[in-house]
Structure 1
Amino acid sequence: MTKIVVVDNHGQFTHLERRALRDLGVDTELIDNETPPAEIDADGVVLSGGPDMDRTGKSAEYLDADMPVLGICLGMQLIAEELGGRVDSGDYGGYADVSVEIVDDDDPLTGTLHPETRVWASHADEVKELPEGFDLTAKSDVCGVEAMSDADRDLYGVQWHPEVAHTEEGEEIFENFLAICESA
C-alpha cells in the first residue's frame, strides 16, 4: 500500500489533508515538521499549509528526499523560496473562493482540472517568481501563480487548499498526487 506522510506546519486544515488521503485508502501519517526525512518510510510527502515560514522546521529537507512532494499553500511557498523563487505578500490578502485557470493540461497534478476549477485559497502570501525548473500550471485574477510543477523532480505546489469542502475538485488533486507517488 502506498504511504504518504503529511508534514505538519501548524496549519488549521492540516488534519483534513491527512483525512483526504486516508479516505482515498492511502496509508498516511501526520508527522511533526521537526522530523528528519531519514526517519520516515514513505512514497510521498505533503508539506502542509501553515501560518509562518519561520515555523516550518525541517520541511525544506524533504525537497531532497527523493520522493514526490506536494506543497499546499505555505508548503508551496516554502518549495519556491528554498529553490530560488520569490515569495511576497499577496495583493488580495485572506481566504477567498477563487476561479483558477489551469494553464497546463498535461501537468500530472492539475492537468485533469483543465480548463478551470473553483478553489478556496489564502493569498496573504504567494509565489511571485517561480524557481528554476518549475512550470506555471495554474493562475487566477487574484494570484499569478496558483500552482506550479517540476515534474522532472516530482515537486508540486498549489496555493489553494484541496482538502477543504469549498474546493470543488480538491479530492482530484490528492488522487493525482497519489498516482504520481505510485509511479515514481
Structure 2
Amino acid sequence: MTRIVVIDLHGQFTHLERRALRDVGVDTEIVSADTPPAEIDADGIVLSGGPDMDRVGNAPDYLDLDVPVLGICLGMQLIAVERGGAVGGGDYGGYADVDVEIVDDEDPLVGSLAPKTRVWASHADEVVEVPEGFVRTATSDVCDVEAMSNTEAGLYGVQWHPEVAHTERGEEVFENFVAICESA
C-alpha cells in the first residue's frame, strides 16, 4: 500500500489533509516537522499549510529524500524559497473562494482540473517568483502562481487547500498526487 506522510507545519487543516489521503486509499500519518529526515519512511510527502516559515523545522531537508513532495499553501511557499524562488505578501489576504485557471493541462498534479476550477485559498503570502526548473501550472486573478511543478525533481505545490470541502475537485488533486507517488 502506498504510504504518504503529512508533515505538520502547524496549519489549521493538517488533519484534513491526512483524512483526504486516507479517503483515497493510502496509508498515512501526520508527523512533526521536527522529525529527522532519516526517520521518514514514505512513498511521498505532503508539506501542510501553516502560519509562517518560522516553524518549519526540518521540512526543507525532506525535499531531498528522493520521493515526490506536494506542498500545500505554506508548503508550496517553502518549496519555492528552498529552491531559489521568492515569496511575498499577497494583495488579497484571508481565505476565500477563488477561480483558478489551469495553464498546463499536461501537468500530472493539476492538469486534469483544466481548464478551470474553484478553490478555497489564502493569499496573505504567495509565491511571487517560481524557482528555476519549475513551471507555473495554475493562475488566478488574485495570484499569479496558484500552482507550480518540477516534475523532474518530483516537487509540486498548490496555493489553495484541496483538503477542504469548499475546494471543488480537491480529492482529485490528492488522487493525482498518489498516482505520481506510485509511478515514482
Give me the whole-angstrom Cα distance separating, in 1, the residues matched to 2:182 and 2:38. 20
Question: Which residue of structure 2 aligns with residue 52 of structure 1?
Answer: 52
Give me the whole-angstrom Cα distance separating, in 2, the residues matched to 1:90 and 1:40. 33
How far is 1:112 from its partner? Answer: 0.2
How far is 1:42 from its partner? Answer: 0.5
How far is 1:79 from its partner? Answer: 0.3
Question: Which residue of structure 1 aligns with residue 103 of structure 2?
Answer: 103
How far is 1:25 from its partner? Answer: 1.1
Give me the whole-angstrom Cα distance separating, in 1, the residues matched to 2:120 and 2:36. 30
1:168 partner SS: coil
1:79 partner SS: helix
- Pairing 1:114-133 to 2, within 5 Å after superposition: 114-133=114-133
Deviations 1:4-52 (A, max 9, x none): 0000000000000000000111000100000122102100000000001
Question: Which residue of structure 2 aligns with residue 156 of structure 1?
Answer: 156
Give me the whole-angstrom Cα distance separating, in 2, the residues matched to 1:113 and 1:158. 13
Deviations 1:133-166 (A, max 9, x none): 0000000000000000000011000000000000
Question: Which residue of structure 2 aligns with residue 61 of structure 1?
Answer: 61
Give me the whole-angstrom Cα distance separating, in 1, the residues matched to 2:166 and 2:28. 23
Deviations 1:155-182 (A, max 9, x none): 0000000000000010000000000000
Give me the whole-angstrom Cα distance separating, in 1, the residues matched to 2:37 and 2:154. 16
For 1:35, the aligned partner's letter is: T
Question: Which residue of structure 2 aligns with residue 28 of structure 1?
Answer: 28
Question: Which residue of structure 2 aligns with residue 180 of structure 1?
Answer: 180
Question: Which residue of structure 1 aligns with residue 37 of structure 2?
Answer: 37
1:179 partner SS: helix
Deviations 1:98-129 (A, max 9, x none): 00000000000000000000000000000000
Give me the whole-angstrom Cα distance separating, in 2, the residues matched to 1:118 and 1:180. 23
Give me the whole-angstrom Cα distance separating, in 1, the residues matched to 2:37 and 2:25. 23
Give me the whole-angstrom Cα distance separating, in 2, the residues matched to 1:60 and 1:161. 20
Question: Which residue of structure 2 aligns with residue 8 of structure 1?
Answer: 8
Q: Which runs of 5+ in 2 are unaligned?
A: none
Give me the whole-angstrom Cα distance separating, in 2, the residues matched to 1:86 and 1:155. 16
Question: Which residue of structure 1 aligns with residue 82 of structure 2?
Answer: 82
How far is 1:68 from its partner? Answer: 0.1
4+ aligned runs moved over 4 Å, structure 1 = none
Question: Which residue of structure 2 aligns with residue 146 of structure 1?
Answer: 146
